[in-house]
Chains A and B, each alone.
Chain A
């Protein structure tokens, strides 16, 4: 089988496991996400278990995987190298947090929820994509 085909299959498997994880954990339900963010209401701890389970699993997984010289289908691991904190990182994260708090959708669950597509979700997805284009137009020097 061609490497490009194998790469596409690996991408599908990764997406499928990710999508299963989001659905089983309940992150495809904005009410669960907002319930976690609502510290001063009827707090829902589910997201804490999702993020904790994912980070610990991936922490162990990365330690095992990154001992190798290269990924199975690729020349090198493509890891971010920047260490500095800048206005784009913090300002961007703050804007994202406001949008996340308004909707209960971050990008993964928003796309994974297409199985239950509604008009508001479609509006969310279209606006998110427009936002990605807009972000490209904002120059790097803040």
Chain B
């Protein structure tokens, strides 16, 4: 097992948890990316959009900061010094996947951050069920793609 990757994962995870706590402490909001950005883009709520826009800018600037620092703090598999990994497929696959992620997080009211990081921390039964559901669906999907169709990519 690759302990340095796991340690980086733990460190980054703690930062994500601190970010969620910070957003609750300062603005009283759940740090759910699909909720913050989905509502920003589809509703443009008056008087409730500025912090969503700055959150998005911050989210994008995090990896930029690591790139400016030389990339040594990144954790891309098999590519030391890289911060952002390559997409796992081409445009067609990403269009299908993006649509599923958008529709799914839209009607399911949350994603890995809202249901996972925040909902589980609140011991929400809805978020626990949602998190288990998307984890199992994703694991089955990867199994089908890699081991039934693709032959172990």
**A and B from one complex:** yes
CB contacts (< 8 Å) of A70 on chain B: these are: 28
On chain B, the number of residues with a Cβ less than 8 Å from chain A's Cβ atoms is 120
Mark contacts of B48-82 with chain A using CB atoms, 8 A cut-off: 1 yes-contact digit, 0 otherwise: 00111111111111111111000001111111001
B100 touches A18 (CB 8 A): no
Interface residues of A, count at CB 8 A? 118
Query: Is A25 within 8 A of B9, CB to CB?
Result: yes
CA distance A27 to B63 in the complex (A): 11
Taking CB atoms and an 8 Å cut-off, the chain A residues in 93-142 that contact chain B are 93-108, 110-116, 118-121, 123-136, 138
Q: A15-B55, A132-B38 given as contacts; is B62 within 8 A of A89 (CB)?
A: no
Report the separation of the CA atoms of residues A83 and B73 in the bound assembly, to the nearest whole angstrom.
40
Docked pose: A18 CA to B77 CA in angstroms? 20
Task: Write out, one digit per residue, whether chain B residues 13-37 have a CB within 8 A of any chain A CB (1) or not (0).
Answer: 1111111111111111111011001
Number of A-B contacts (CB under 8 A): 533
Q: Is the CB of B30 within 8 A of A131?
A: no
Q: Cβ of B50 and Cβ of A11 under 8 Å apart?
A: yes
The interface residues of chain B lying within 8 Å CB-to-CB of A97 are 104, 133-138, 140-141
Are A94 and B104 touching (Cβ within 8 A)? yes
Residues from chain A with a CB closer than 8 A to the CB of B17 are 53-59, 61
Find chain B residues with CB under 8 A from A46 CB: 2, 5-6, 8-9, 75
Among B74-103, those with CB < 8 Å from A are: 74-79, 82-91, 93-103
A119 to B115, CA, bound (A): 29
B83 to A9, Cβ gap below 8 A?
A: no
Q: Which residues of B contact A96 (CB under 8 A)?
A: 100-101, 104-105, 108, 111, 134, 137
Cα distance, A104 to B89, chains bound together (Å): 10
A97 to B140, CA, bound (A): 9
Q: How far is the CB of B15 from chain A (nearest CB, A)?
A: 3
Q: Give the interface of A toward B (CB within 8 A).
A: 4, 7-32, 34-35, 37-41, 44-59, 61-62, 64-66, 68, 70-80, 82-85, 88-108, 110-116, 118-121, 123-136, 138
List residues of chain B with CB under 8 Å of any chain A CB: 1-2, 5-31, 33-34, 37-38, 41-42, 47, 50-67, 73-79, 82-91, 93-109, 111-113, 115-122, 124-126, 129-131, 133-143, 145-147, 152
